[in-house]
Amino acid sequence: MKVKYSKGPYITFKLGTNWERGCDMEVRISYLNHINRRYEKAFDVDETFIDLSGLGISKINLAQLNRFSDIRKIDLSENYITEIDLGPLVRADHLEELNLGMNQLTNVFLAPLGRCDNLRILDLHNNALDSIYLSPLAMCTALRDLRLHRNLIEEINIAPLAHCKSLEYLRLDRNPFIEIDLNPLSKLKNLRELFLEYCPILLLELDPIAECESLEGLWLRKLRVWDFELNPLQHCKNLKWLDLSENKVPFIEVTALFHCPKLQRIVIDVSNIPTASTKVRSIKAPPGLDKIRDRIYWKDFT
């Protein structure tokens, strides 16, 4: 028999056992909403997914989560959080996913996450971050998905990510940084998708991408580069999707993409592809290039 009172803890009675206080089986997480009113949400003490998304939270103390023994996922997305102390998460040994997307964070100190050996997904998208220090993530060797898109990041150093050998998805798009060094990505053999679209990048060297043997998608829409050197992509044998559209580039040499046998879709402005002055060589084009084959300028490769 279980009786739950509107106020105070409830009591659980099991036949043949002692009375147990229900409060030991339940954890109440308190928080302030966007108009400074305090609310609570209850979870079973053995809950692994702490869903606090879309509750209008403005402030919350994560130390309350230490009462859970096996947290795997924390979702704090779609709230009004401007700052948060991740310190208590050093004890979240089994944490696999942390979602802080769609808040109002202006800064976040990631050092505590360096202790989360099992962290696979970190979502910080759609906040107000103008900078981010990624060094703590070098310890997160299980990290597979990092989402930093739709922020206000003006400078970014992704060197620490070279240690994240399991990284598969990296979203940096829709940030105002004008330069980025992609060299650390050459260490990421498992990287499958890279998003850099809608960043005002002035110069982009794609040579490190040649080492990303698992790369399937590359999104470079609407940058501010004046030239694309696509030759490194001929080494990306698993490339399926490439978006180069809305770039003010007078000429894009795309012939290297003939060496991408799995290419299914390429989005590119027709004006960027000059009409071939000589007959294109007889070679089977991947599906994504077949329709624009007669407009591709052929260039020999060594």
Per-residue pLDDT reduced to its tens digit, 64-109: 999 998 999 999 999 999 999 999 999 999 999 999 999 999 999 9
Answer for the pair 197, 223: CB distance below 8 angstroms, yes or no: yes
253 falls within a domain: yes
CA distances from 59 to 21, 38, 101, 103, 222 (A): 29, 10, 15, 11, 36
194 falls within a domain: no
197 falls within a domain: no
Same domain, 245 and 114: no
* pTM score over 0.95: no
Domain boundary among 130, 156, 177: 177
Same domain, 132 and 268: no
- Domain with 230, as residue range(s), is 206-301
Q: What is the pLDDT of residues 28-55, one digit of tens each?
A: 999 999 999 999 999 999 999 999 999 9
